[in-house]
Structure 1
Amino acid sequence: MGVLAVTITSCGSDPDKRCADRTTRQTLPSSECKKGGSGSYYYGGSSSKGKVDGGSFDKSAVDRGGFGCSAGSGGG
């Protein structure tokens, strides 16, 4: 049962996100990604030395699906 719960949770999980400047890719406080702020959410990738890399500002570009999410899988 525990594995099933993990599988279901993983299928619906969103990619990691962090707030960053679109031009410089510098990480910013999350408050900067709220309405009126100067940042945008950066999805996936990693953060090193205060800059994001390896992901995208486009959430759909890094949609990872998760473990065990094939459309044809089912119990039986």
Structure 2
Amino acid sequence: MAETRRRLRSSTVVLGGMGVIAAALTSCSSDPDRRCVDRDSYTYEGYKVVADKNCKSGSSSGSSYGKGGKRKTGSSDAAWYYDSDVDRGRADYGTFSRSEAVDRGGFGCSGSGSGGG
């Protein structure tokens, strides 16, 4: 009976270890975690997270300014904010640079991301 318990515990350790390896491999993705934030909303708690539709896909800055540099009415200066800590709708300790976020890497990553610029 004791041998059966020992075997069960060791298989649990093996399965848990496989989960850690899987998490490490997926954390090396070329797409860093990102949140759409309002650049004008920074407080000591971080930037206010806004709806993704406010950030243009593939753009590092939002579309809150019209022709002539005048701010559009009712719009926020939304931008993608990468690899940030998020707490209570606020994002902090991240970067607006996608290439910098990719270069940071994760657990088990080599750190040589495909920055692209």
TM (norm. structure 2) is: 0.45
Cα displacement string for residues 5-62 of structure 1 (whole angstroms, at most 9, x for unaligned residues): x577554432100100112111000011127363110000111121111111111222
Q: Distance in 1 between matches of 2:26 and 2:34?
A: 17
Q: 1:11 to 1:30 in 2, by over 3 A?
A: same
Percent identity at matched positions? 43
Partner residue, 1:65: 105
Q: Distance in 1 between matches of 2:95 and 2:79?
A: 10
Secondary structure of the corresponding residue to residue 62 of structure 1? helix
Q: Write out aligned runs for 1:1-76 (5 A).
A: 10-24=27-41, 25-34=47-56, 36=63, 38=76, 39-63=78-102, 64-66=104-106, 68-70=108-110
Partner residue, 2:13: none
Does the Cα contact within 8 Å between 1:11 and 1:69 map onto a contact in 2? yes
Greater relative contact order, per chain length (Cα 8 Å cut-off, separation 6+): 1
Secondary structure of the corresponding residue to residue 39 of structure 2? coil
Structure 2 gaps of 5+ residues are 1-21, 42-46, 58-62, 65-75, 111-117
More helix by share: 2
Number of residue pairs the alignment of both structures matches: 69
